[in-house]
Amino acid sequence: MDHPFDGVTLIHRDLAEPRPVRLFVVDVDLANRGVSFLLTPPASTPNGRETMRQTTLDFLRETKAQVAVNAHFFVPFPAADPDSDLIGLAASAGRVYSKFEEPQQSYAIVARASAFNLDAANRARVVREGDTVALWNALSGSAQVVTGGRVTVPRYELGQLTPGGPARYSGNRSWYELPNARTLIGLDRAARRLVLLVIDTGTPQSRGLTVTEAAELLVRDYGVHDALNLDGGGSTTLAIADPDTAEAKLVNRPSGNGEPRAVGSSLAVFAKPRCRRQP
């Protein structure tokens, strides 16, 4: 366990069960006055899409943040096109630029998926379509996978997802139940702590988790009351600024070739350096 910044705790764990897994947890104290957030802002793109893709590492460098993780699912993908549309609700510093929506693919992403909103005072809450709330930094993922302290991974047999996709996902082969690199975001019951969970698959020593396993871990080990599953696989990225030198670096090893993927959005965490005692 490390405390690289005031109000930020970084935890690295290597698990043996249910398979070899390397994971990282960023626990953020929302009551800390030095903490703030920023989601990737909208961009004027040649195609009229919502954001310009960039790596989470580059977003960390550009914003001079202390921590950053990848966020939304996005389209088109795969594509060489650097412009992207985010799937689901998105707001950056009060600018709402993507709404609740029916996704192009529904074998993994539920319709009008719940979102998290972090206002300018770091008050955090779950947001659903129809809620009256002033959006500040808002992000959504494939589904809300922890609700009220219970694991709520969506199911095909309940009509929440549509069978199909590249691997013919179904109730017998759920997209959510295959081990993979994962990024999840959670809140504790009092919404005073924001928990970011990053699951690695970029090394032979880490074979990933299912979304259900990751959600159960958040509830059991970190007291998470509500959580969203964000984009994963090759998009999964945790970047951090060295607390001494401010050099931006990757914490996890992205799956595939180990190079970070340019993604549609990232969430940055800003925090003050911890006061270090002089020898």
Tokens representing residue 78 in the block? 């795969």
Residue 224 CA: distances (Å) to CA of 92, 125, 128, 164 = 24, 13, 19, 31
Average pLDDT of 17-39?
97
Tell me how far apart the alpha carbons of residues 108 and 263 are, in angstroms, rounded to a whole number.
Answer: 18
pLDDT per residue as tens digits for the range 145-185:
999 999 999 999 999 999 999 999 999 999 999 999 999 99
What is the average pLDDT across 113-138? 97
Kindly indicate the confidence band of residue 58, based on its pLDDT and cuts at 50, 70 and 90.
very high
pLDDT band with cut points at 50, 70 and 90 for residue 274 = confident
pLDDT value of residue 271: 98
Q: What is the spatial distance between Cα 269 and Cα 264, in angstroms, rounded to a whole number?
A: 17
Whole-number percent of the chain with pLDDT over 90:
90
Nearest Cα neighbor of 197 from 160, 257, 155, 252 is 252
Q: DSSP class of residue 176?
A: G
pLDDT of residue 278: 42
Q: Is the pLDDT of residue 52 over 70?
A: yes
Spans of all domains in the chain: 2-270
Residue type present at position 138: A
Q: What is the pLDDT of residues 21-30, one digit of tens each?
A: 999 999 999 9
pLDDT at 16 over 80: yes
Q: Report the share of the chain in percent with pLDDT over 70.
A: 98
Q: Which residues contact 92 (CB under 8 A, 6 or more apart)?
A: 38, 39, 40, 41, 42, 137
Using pLDDT thresholds of 50, 70 and 90, give the confidence band for residue 275: low
Q: Is the pLDDT of residue 279 over 80?
A: no
Region 254-264 average pLDDT: 89
Grade residue 90 by pLDDT with cuts at 50, 70 and 90.
very high
